[in-house]
Amino acid sequence: MRFSDESGSSTAEFAVLLPAVAIMLSLALCFGVVGIQQIQVQQAAGAMARELARGEDDATARASGVRLAGNQARFSLSTSNGYSQVHVSKTVRLPIAGSLQVHGQASVAVE
């Protein structure tokens, strides 16, 4: 007596692989979110440094940073040796990986 009936084997294979595929897709989504947040933080740092270099006050530069990076971002502004320097950091909370810090910094010569 031989058992060569393979009906249902693709369903069993799918059931075994589905959790792995779901985890891989979730991780890809998390990396995408971190990438987007990193870009936003870096753009905020660059915009803030340019505004400081043009002679704008700290409040105007911070308003641009909040607009680009969000309210949860932390900003460090300084102007020394003819350069305006900005450091922006933000905590990104992910459902699978937990919390990650993204940082952006920019330095522009003062005009």
Residues 43 and 54 sit within 8 Å (Cβ to Cβ): no
Residue range(s) defining the domain that contains residue 34: 9-109
Q: Please check whether residue 2 lies inside any domain of the structure.
A: no
Amino acid 5: pLDDT: 64
What residue type is assigned to position 48 of the chain? M
Average of per-residue pLDDT across 17-26? 91
Amino acid 97: pLDDT: 74
Residues 94 and 32 sit within 8 Å (Cβ to Cβ): no
Q: What is the CA radius of gyration of the chain?
A: 24
Q: Please check whether residue 16 lies inside any domain of the structure.
A: yes
What residue type is assigned to position 69 of the chain? A
| Count of domains forming the chain | 1
pLDDT tens-digit series, residues 57-91: 999 999 999 999 999 999 999 988 889 999 999 99
pTM of the shown model: 0.79
Residues 89 and 74 sit within 8 Å (Cβ to Cβ): yes
CA dist 68 and 46 (Å) reads 10
Q: Please check whether residue 26 lies inside any domain of the structure.
A: yes
